[in-house]
Amino acid sequence: MTNITNADIKWWEKTVEYKFVRNCTSSSMFLPLDGDPEKMGDTIFSEKNKFLLIEFKRIASDFKDEIKKYSNMDKIKQELNSNYPSTDYHIFIYGENNNNQLDIAIVPYWDGLDGNYSKKEILSDKNKFNNYVQNYGTKYSNFDKYVRSIYANKKSSSSEGDNSSGSFGLENISNCIVIVENEGKISAISLGEYAVEQNLTIKQEQKQAIDENKNSYTRPKKLGR
Protein backbone atom coordinates (compact mmCIF):
# COMPACT_ATOMS: atom_id res chain seq x y z
CA MET A 1 0.00 0.00 0.00
CA THR A 2 1.22 3.53 -0.76
CA ASN A 3 2.90 5.33 2.12
CA ILE A 4 0.37 7.51 3.92
CA THR A 5 2.46 8.81 6.82
CA ASN A 6 4.58 11.43 5.04
CA ALA A 7 4.39 14.59 7.14
CA ASP A 8 5.20 16.93 4.24
CA ILE A 9 1.57 17.09 3.16
CA LYS A 10 -1.58 17.00 5.26
CA TRP A 11 -5.20 16.51 4.41
CA TRP A 12 -8.50 15.86 6.09
CA GLU A 13 -11.60 13.80 5.36
CA LYS A 14 -13.24 16.85 3.80
CA THR A 15 -10.18 17.24 1.55
CA VAL A 16 -10.82 13.72 0.23
CA GLU A 17 -14.50 14.52 -0.37
CA TYR A 18 -13.59 17.75 -2.17
CA LYS A 19 -10.97 16.14 -4.40
CA PHE A 20 -13.37 13.31 -5.20
CA VAL A 21 -15.99 15.81 -6.33
CA ARG A 22 -13.48 17.83 -8.36
CA ASN A 23 -11.66 14.93 -10.01
CA CYS A 24 -14.25 12.19 -10.29
CA THR A 25 -17.53 13.94 -10.97
CA SER A 26 -18.88 16.73 -13.12
CA SER A 27 -21.94 18.94 -13.00
CA SER A 28 -23.42 17.04 -15.94
CA MET A 29 -23.14 13.59 -14.35
CA PHE A 30 -23.56 14.21 -10.63
CA LEU A 31 -26.84 15.70 -9.48
CA PRO A 32 -28.43 16.10 -6.02
CA LEU A 33 -31.57 14.15 -5.22
CA ASP A 34 -34.04 16.97 -4.75
CA GLY A 35 -37.70 17.18 -5.54
CA ASP A 36 -40.96 15.43 -4.85
CA PRO A 37 -40.55 12.25 -2.73
CA GLU A 38 -43.20 10.39 -4.73
CA LYS A 39 -41.40 11.16 -7.97
CA MET A 40 -38.12 10.10 -6.39
CA GLY A 41 -39.73 6.81 -5.46
CA ASP A 42 -40.78 6.18 -9.05
CA THR A 43 -37.59 7.27 -10.81
CA ILE A 44 -34.75 6.84 -8.31
CA PHE A 45 -35.64 3.85 -6.13
CA SER A 46 -36.02 1.61 -9.15
CA GLU A 47 -34.55 -1.72 -10.22
CA LYS A 48 -33.15 -0.16 -13.38
CA ASN A 49 -30.75 2.00 -11.37
CA LYS A 50 -27.43 1.10 -9.76
CA PHE A 51 -26.50 1.96 -6.19
CA LEU A 52 -23.25 2.45 -4.27
CA LEU A 53 -22.69 3.28 -0.62
CA ILE A 54 -19.62 5.46 -0.04
CA GLU A 55 -17.87 6.15 3.25
CA PHE A 56 -15.19 8.85 3.11
CA LYS A 57 -12.09 8.49 5.28
CA ARG A 58 -8.96 10.62 5.57
CA ILE A 59 -6.55 7.67 5.36
CA ALA A 60 -6.76 3.87 5.39
CA SER A 61 -5.82 3.61 9.07
CA ASP A 62 -9.10 5.39 9.87
CA PHE A 63 -11.05 2.37 8.64
CA LYS A 64 -10.71 0.82 12.10
CA ASP A 65 -13.09 3.45 13.45
CA GLU A 66 -15.90 1.57 11.68
CA ILE A 67 -15.35 -1.64 13.66
CA LYS A 68 -16.54 -0.16 16.95
CA LYS A 69 -19.81 0.88 15.32
CA TYR A 70 -20.98 -2.73 15.03
CA SER A 71 -22.55 -4.64 17.89
CA ASN A 72 -21.05 -7.97 16.72
CA MET A 73 -18.58 -8.07 13.84
CA ASP A 74 -18.55 -11.86 13.57
CA LYS A 75 -22.34 -11.95 13.35
CA ILE A 76 -22.63 -9.30 10.62
CA LYS A 77 -19.82 -10.87 8.56
CA GLN A 78 -21.46 -14.28 8.75
CA GLU A 79 -24.81 -12.80 7.77
CA LEU A 80 -23.33 -10.94 4.80
CA ASN A 81 -21.35 -13.96 3.61
CA SER A 82 -24.52 -16.07 3.71
CA ASN A 83 -26.78 -13.60 1.92
CA TYR A 84 -24.66 -11.51 -0.45
CA PRO A 85 -22.32 -12.96 -3.11
CA SER A 86 -20.62 -9.57 -3.30
CA THR A 87 -20.73 -6.32 -1.33
CA ASP A 88 -18.32 -4.36 -3.54
CA TYR A 89 -20.99 -1.66 -3.86
CA HIS A 90 -20.16 -0.57 -0.28
CA ILE A 91 -16.84 1.24 -0.47
CA PHE A 92 -14.30 3.42 1.26
CA ILE A 93 -12.92 6.45 -0.56
CA TYR A 94 -9.80 7.76 1.14
CA GLY A 95 -6.52 9.60 0.61
CA GLU A 96 -3.01 8.29 -0.02
CA ASN A 97 0.29 10.16 -0.21
CA ASN A 98 1.92 9.46 -3.59
CA ASN A 99 5.25 11.30 -3.69
CA ASN A 100 3.74 14.27 -1.84
CA GLN A 101 0.69 14.29 -4.10
CA LEU A 102 -2.72 13.35 -2.74
CA ASP A 103 -4.28 10.37 -4.51
CA ILE A 104 -7.90 9.40 -3.99
CA ALA A 105 -8.28 5.65 -3.63
CA ILE A 106 -11.25 3.31 -3.52
CA VAL A 107 -11.50 -0.10 -1.85
CA PRO A 108 -14.49 -2.31 -1.00
CA TYR A 109 -15.63 -1.60 2.57
CA TRP A 110 -15.31 -5.08 4.04
CA ASP A 111 -12.01 -5.70 2.26
CA GLY A 112 -10.70 -2.49 3.78
CA LEU A 113 -11.77 -3.54 7.27
CA ASP A 114 -9.92 -6.84 6.76
CA GLY A 115 -6.78 -5.10 5.44
CA ASN A 116 -7.27 -6.54 1.95
CA TYR A 117 -6.27 -4.06 -0.77
CA SER A 118 -6.25 -6.43 -3.75
CA LYS A 119 -9.20 -4.58 -5.34
CA LYS A 120 -7.93 -1.10 -4.57
CA GLU A 121 -8.10 1.44 -7.39
CA ILE A 122 -6.80 4.98 -7.70
CA LEU A 123 -9.57 7.31 -8.83
CA SER A 124 -7.49 9.29 -11.27
CA ASP A 125 -10.36 10.64 -13.36
CA LYS A 126 -14.13 10.62 -13.94
CA ASN A 127 -14.02 7.51 -16.09
CA LYS A 128 -12.49 5.44 -13.29
CA PHE A 129 -15.37 6.19 -10.94
CA ASN A 130 -18.02 5.89 -13.62
CA ASN A 131 -16.63 2.48 -14.58
CA TYR A 132 -16.75 1.40 -10.94
CA VAL A 133 -20.42 2.38 -10.71
CA GLN A 134 -21.17 0.47 -13.90
CA ASN A 135 -19.24 -2.63 -12.83
CA TYR A 136 -20.10 -2.86 -9.15
CA GLY A 137 -23.27 -0.86 -8.58
CA THR A 138 -26.12 -3.05 -7.41
CA LYS A 139 -29.87 -3.09 -8.00
CA TYR A 140 -32.19 -1.26 -5.66
CA SER A 141 -33.79 -4.36 -4.09
CA ASN A 142 -30.39 -5.83 -3.16
CA PHE A 143 -29.05 -2.47 -1.98
CA ASP A 144 -32.05 -1.83 0.26
CA LYS A 145 -31.80 -5.32 1.76
CA TYR A 146 -28.08 -4.76 2.41
CA VAL A 147 -28.60 -1.35 4.04
CA ARG A 148 -31.22 -2.84 6.34
CA SER A 149 -28.81 -5.64 7.28
CA ILE A 150 -26.01 -3.32 8.34
CA TYR A 151 -28.55 -0.93 9.87
CA ALA A 152 -29.77 -3.68 12.19
CA ASN A 153 -26.23 -4.59 13.24
CA LYS A 154 -24.81 -1.20 14.08
CA LYS A 155 -24.80 0.31 17.54
CA SER A 156 -26.68 3.40 18.57
CA SER A 157 -24.86 6.70 18.06
CA SER A 158 -26.27 8.01 21.34
CA SER A 159 -23.76 10.05 23.31
CA GLU A 160 -25.26 8.54 26.45
CA GLY A 161 -23.87 5.13 25.63
CA ASP A 162 -26.99 3.44 24.33
CA ASN A 163 -25.68 0.37 22.50
CA SER A 164 -28.96 -0.76 21.01
CA SER A 165 -28.76 -1.55 17.31
CA GLY A 166 -30.43 0.32 14.51
CA SER A 167 -29.19 3.91 14.45
CA PHE A 168 -25.53 4.13 13.30
CA GLY A 169 -25.21 7.89 13.11
CA LEU A 170 -27.90 8.61 10.56
CA GLU A 171 -27.76 12.27 11.49
CA ASN A 172 -24.36 12.46 9.77
CA ILE A 173 -25.28 14.22 6.53
CA SER A 174 -22.07 13.79 4.57
CA ASN A 175 -20.11 10.72 5.65
CA CYS A 176 -22.20 8.01 4.00
CA ILE A 177 -23.43 8.84 0.52
CA VAL A 178 -25.74 6.79 -1.65
CA ILE A 179 -24.79 7.03 -5.33
CA VAL A 180 -27.46 6.25 -7.90
CA GLU A 181 -26.72 5.70 -11.58
CA ASN A 182 -29.77 6.62 -13.65
CA GLU A 183 -29.50 6.73 -17.43
CA GLY A 184 -25.98 8.10 -17.32
CA LYS A 185 -26.59 10.48 -14.41
CA ILE A 186 -25.13 9.97 -10.95
CA SER A 187 -26.93 11.44 -7.96
CA ALA A 188 -26.12 11.67 -4.25
CA ILE A 189 -28.12 11.40 -1.04
CA SER A 190 -26.95 10.93 2.55
CA LEU A 191 -27.64 7.60 4.18
CA GLY A 192 -29.72 9.47 6.74
CA GLU A 193 -31.95 10.92 4.05
CA TYR A 194 -32.21 7.49 2.45
CA ALA A 195 -33.37 6.03 5.76
CA VAL A 196 -36.08 8.66 6.07
CA GLU A 197 -37.24 8.25 2.46
CA GLN A 198 -37.33 4.47 2.78
CA ASN A 199 -39.10 4.47 6.15
CA LEU A 200 -36.38 2.68 8.04
CA THR A 201 -37.32 2.59 11.71
CA ILE A 202 -35.36 5.33 13.43
CA LYS A 203 -35.83 7.26 16.62
CA GLN A 204 -37.71 10.54 16.44
CA GLU A 205 -34.72 12.51 17.71
CA GLN A 206 -32.59 11.03 14.92
CA LYS A 207 -35.12 12.00 12.26
CA GLN A 208 -35.18 15.52 13.69
CA ALA A 209 -31.39 15.69 13.56
CA ILE A 210 -31.40 14.48 9.95
CA ASP A 211 -34.01 17.06 8.97
CA GLU A 212 -32.13 19.85 10.75
CA ASN A 213 -28.85 18.92 9.06
CA LYS A 214 -30.58 18.58 5.70
CA ASN A 215 -32.01 22.08 6.05
CA SER A 216 -28.67 23.57 7.08
CA TYR A 217 -26.59 21.67 4.53
CA THR A 218 -26.58 22.83 0.93
CA ARG A 219 -25.68 20.08 -1.47
CA PRO A 220 -23.56 21.42 -4.32
CA LYS A 221 -25.59 21.74 -7.51
CA LYS A 222 -22.61 22.55 -9.73
CA LEU A 223 -20.14 19.86 -8.81
CA GLY A 224 -16.86 19.41 -10.58
CA ARG A 225 -16.37 23.02 -11.64
**Nearest-angstrom CA–CA distance, 217 and 138:** 27
What sign results for the dihedral spanned by CA atoms 147, 93, 16, 48? negative
**Nearest-angstrom CA–CA distance, 187 and 63:** 25
> What backbone phi and psi angles, to 5 degrees, belong to 179?
-105, 130
Q: What is the pLDDT along the chain (225 residues), one digit of tens a residue?
A: 444 444 568 899 989 988 888 888 765 555 555 555 555 556 677 888 899 999 999 999 999 988 888 888 999 999 999 999 999 999 999 999 999 999 999 999 999 999 999 999 999 888 898 899 999 999 999 999 999 888 888 776 543 344 333 444 444 434 677 788 877 777 777 787 787 777 775 544 444 544 555 554 444 333 332
**Residue ranges per structural domain of the chain:** 13-216
Residue 40 CB partners (closer than 8 Å, separation 6+): 33, 197
